[in-house]
Structure 1
């Protein structure tokens, strides 16, 4: 599980990234330059990808599935090949296609992108598939997406687009994501959050957890990111380990008030910080919060990867999500505020369906009937 981060904020998290189990995906305008510096000047030897992220500003079309804006050179004039060469020269472990945003039901754009990558005949190229989460809305569109991705031999990096938490939009989205990961060889899930662990548990080749909320989903080109306007963002997002969710540092401090907040013993905090200490965006608090978040994620990753892949790992993830849901009532009761912390919809959905191996015959029959 890699950490997806902007070049500008790399220093916040790099020290916490586990070199054996993790790595980096750099985003932003300086990503290529920073990647080159990491490789050549700093001697970084870990997994390193560069996300061109053209999907942030341009949609894929049938005529132009890779809308990468770059000046042609004496040797190359194709935007796709230019982008791939640029990433290779910067030291990327594998280059990633500069795919535009694939809107809901735009099978023409998806087919054009897949066809172009197939012509490269290069299994060392990662096909970026930044798709609207509506592709996972129902069985028909999910099957279509799977069929196209199965045509590509190399790794496929799926990224989901949608406001707030894309996987919370449709009741079956999490289940269809599991199906996609299981049926598409070398599938990966990037630019995401809790789903990074869920996808790993269900067999993803690799995943990437966004170091900030910006890199935990995609906003379709032309749309403005929706936020909770009732809660001004005046403090960093902090991962509450027991609840498996992010909350603003200021929100955690207000909820606990005079009560004693949990002390964090992750490798970044080392028992010197409580979860209510990240109360503003001033000074070193944003960096400290980002470092804490990644340190906690690395602890989860080490635990997950110590479990045997397959049903056992899937069961671990399900149990972990169920345990987190149970903690909401425990913690809210301890601070005498029944609705202080509310579980995110995605966590509810990961915890709502047990892995097939642990279901009773009656549960399996009910699931089949609902389909």
Structure 2
């Protein structure tokens, strides 16, 4: 029985042998290379902060930004990077998908190609990506016409090596009916499907059943992936996602719908970096951690970046050095969790690992708050609470889930 009063153990870095890296060089099947990985979704500007902590055998990169194609090409062909590599065109940030134009990317035609979708895919392939990703516009709530048009266009392309990006408003996961509709459309696509969730703050906290429906989506949809996300990257991978991508910064952990301004919990621009508190499995501003601890003993971090030399209260400003150190700390902790997850057998063992970890982290809040003599010093994120309520015994195969719904 798990002792939830005990602190989370520091996972060893050698818990799992890395997958065969030969495929990264030969690249016979891009999806095989990506499978079981949690990639890091990062802007080209911040790549230098985190690349040293990346576990290239179990992770990889999803590059974002206006110069993502150029940077990917430089990484692959000049710097000799052989790891898993994707480019997210992120058209969904500026344009919504419509029935008339589900892929509203702005790419200049060439002598040989004038279709924006095919041009974008060719551009990514030329940059050396593991697999190219569609430049899909944002799929708004209940806009089944836009989703249908995107699926039909990809079926016409008839290329299973293309990742279909599905940047959906989280309200698609609001209830069973819309979730089933989403699954039905995406099932028509033979290749991998990369789900990305849109909504302010933490999209999965908006609807009570969103986490459960996300798990249902992953379990019932072949080769489903979850990109541009947060803790859900681990939850989805444990549930059987083909691969996932964790956002290196808060910007890349969800989508803001085109035309909306991002909301923040603090109401303004943060003056310190977001720091991953390992025992609490949540991000907090560095200034908040320092303030909450005050004169109390601060946990020293032994991740692969901090190595016992730094405590969690040092990341108190956005100066270049501290921001880079916080980013390196965050990724080092995530990579340690990933190694531990991948060491577990796929299926129930991974789901049990994730469930136990979330439950243990949730119990740590009262203990740590007591240690700093402030019962509300740190509040658990709503999403963590919901993952902690998802017991592996309630998770069935798609066939079991179908049977349960028929009862």
**Aligned counterparts of 2:57 and 2:224: Cα–Cα separation in 1:** 20
Unaligned runs of 5+ in 1: none
Does 2:303 align with 1:257?
Answer: no
The 5-angstrom pairing of residues 168-179 of structure 1 reads 168-179=205-216
> Which residue in 2 is equivalent to 1:123?
160
**Aligned counterparts of 2:97 and 2:241: Cα–Cα separation in 1:** 25
SS in 2 for 1:125: coil
Q: Report 1 or 2 for greater relative contact order, CA contacts < 8 Å, sequence distance ≥ 6.
A: 2
Cα drift, residue 70 of structure 1: 1.2
**Aligned counterparts of 2:330 and 2:289: Cα–Cα separation in 1:** 14
**Aligned counterparts of 2:258 and 2:389: Cα–Cα separation in 1:** 32
> Which residue in 2 is equivalent to 1:190?
227
The 5-angstrom pairing of residues 162-241 of structure 1 reads 162-230=199-267, 232-241=269-278
Would the alpha carbon gap of residues 299 and 92 (structure 1) be closer, same or farther in structure 2, given more than 3 Å must change?
same
> Which residue in 2 is equivalent to 1:139?
176
**Aligned counterparts of 2:269 and 2:84: Cα–Cα separation in 1:** 36
- Give the aligned CA root-mean-square deviation in angstroms: 1.5
**Aligned counterparts of 2:242 and 2:331: Cα–Cα separation in 1:** 20
Deviation string for 1:288-321 (max 9, x for gaps)?
1111000000000000000011111101100000
Does 2:283 align with 1:246?
Answer: yes
Unaligned runs of 5+ in 2: 1-37
Normalising by structure 2, we get a TM-score of 0.87
- Aligned with residue 286 of structure 1, among 307, 316, 323: 323
**Aligned counterparts of 2:253 and 2:395: Cα–Cα separation in 1:** 30
Deviation string for 1:8-28 (max 9, x for gaps)?
110000111101100000000
Cα drift, residue 346 of structure 1: 0.2
Cα drift, residue 230 of structure 1: 4.8
> Which residue in 2 is equivalent to 1:74?
111
Cα drift, residue 231 of structure 1: 6.5
Deviation string for 1:61-95 (max 9, x for gaps)?
00000000011111100000000000000001000
Query: Residue 315 of structure 1 contacts residue 358 of structure 1 at CA under 8 Å; is this kept in 2?
Result: no
Does 2:322 align with 1:275?
Answer: no
Number of equivalences: 363
- Aligned with residue 378 of structure 2, among 307, 325, 341: 341
Deviation string for 1:201-256 (max 9, x for gaps)?
00000000000000000000000001123565100000000000000000000000
Query: Residue 311 of structure 1 contacts residue 357 of structure 1 at CA under 8 Å; is this kept in 2?
Result: no
**Aligned counterparts of 2:275 and 2:118: Cα–Cα separation in 1:** 39
SS in 1 for 2:82: coil
Cα drift, residue 337 of structure 1: 0.5
Cα drift, residue 260 of structure 1: 1.6
> Which residue in 1 is equivalent to 2:71?
34
SS in 1 for 2:320: coil
Q: Which moved more, 1:202-211 or 1:223-232?
A: 223-232
Query: Residue 263 of structure 1 contacts residue 273 of structure 1 at CA under 8 Å; is this kept in 2?
Result: yes
Deviation string for 1:89-145 (max 9, x for gaps)?
000100000000000000000000000011111110000000000000000000000
Normalising by structure 1, we get a TM-score of 0.96
